[in-house]
Structure 1
Amino acid sequence: MPLSELVRVAGTRWCIEECFQAAKGQVGLDHYQVRHWTAWHRHITLAMLALAFLAALAADATPVRTAQPNRPARSPDPIDLTVPEIRHLLGTLLSPPNISPRGLLQWSNWRRNHLQVPGRPPSRTQA
């Protein structure tokens, strides 16, 4: 086996590890207590389906940007929706909310506008 192939496979492994970490943290991939293979298989299938659903929503919500080499590093736009953000929004909407959907979206926009982004100076509340 050539060394280049081994390096490629080792690099691919890292992507898989990140996917499993996201699934454990976001959709409870490791939160199962089962005794049979069938139940384990159902849990893993539903967890991976939930992660795929959230990832598809995040990818669909990401605006298409054209390549602009002179694009400024700082942007007034909020960061893109992420899987954890979408999971939080869906969880809040599906449980009895204490705030209105409009208030929830305003909170999400405020939060994404104020997250630390490389190249963006910290706001006064974060300093």
Structure 2
Amino acid sequence: MLALAFLTALAADAAPQRPADAHYLARSRDPITLTVLEIRHLLAAVFNPPAVTAASLLHWSNWRRRHQATARRSHYRRRTANEPSG
């Protein structure tokens, strides 16, 4: 439980301030913020190093978060397209 609390605090600290625009996330090309699971993967890779370099690990993490951001944008776009107008 302590480890989960630590990871949650790290994720909350890494999260940028939310913009006032509610539709910012649907338009942004930035990767999603670091999640607890992503931080856990990165810490596990640091303390139990895989056979890849740190640069490739960070590249993979950035690619994964960009992919998740693309999925989020697609989900928001589909959800707003199906909303009834009025």
TM-score (norm 2): 0.73
Q: State the match for 1:50 in structure 2.
A: 3
Offset at residue 49 of structure 1 (A) = 0.7
Higher relative contact order (CA 8 A, sep 6+): 2
Q: 2:65 aligns with which of 97, 108, 112?
A: 112
Offset at residue 72 of structure 1 (A) = 6.2
Write out per-residue CA displacement over residues 4-50 of structure 1, whole angstroms, 9 at most, x where no aligned residue: xxxxxxxxxxxxxxxxxxxxxxxxxxxxxxxxxxxxxxxxxxxx110
1:80 corresponds to 2:33:
yes
Q: State the match for 2:83 in structure 1.
A: none
Offset at residue 93 of structure 1 (A) = 1.1
1:96 corresponds to 2:42:
no
Q: Are residues 120 and 110 of structure 1, via their aligned partners in 2, closer, same or farther at CA, if it must alter by over 3 Å?
A: farther
Distance 2:14 2:22 in 1: 23
Q: Match of 1:119, SS? A: helix
Structure 1 runs (4+) deviating above 6 angstroms are: none
TM-score (norm 1): 0.52
Unaligned 5+ segments in structure 1 are: 1-47, 122-127
Q: How many residues align?
A: 74
Distance 1:72 1:92 in 2: 29
Q: Match of 1:73, SS? A: helix
The letter for the 2-side match of 1:55 is T
Q: 2:13 aligns with which of 52, 60, 72?
A: 60
Distance 1:54 1:73 in 2: 26
Offset at residue 51 of structure 1 (A) = 0.5
Offset at residue 120 of structure 1 (A) = 5.8
Unaligned 5+ segments in structure 2 are: 79-86
Give the structure with the larger helix fraction: 2
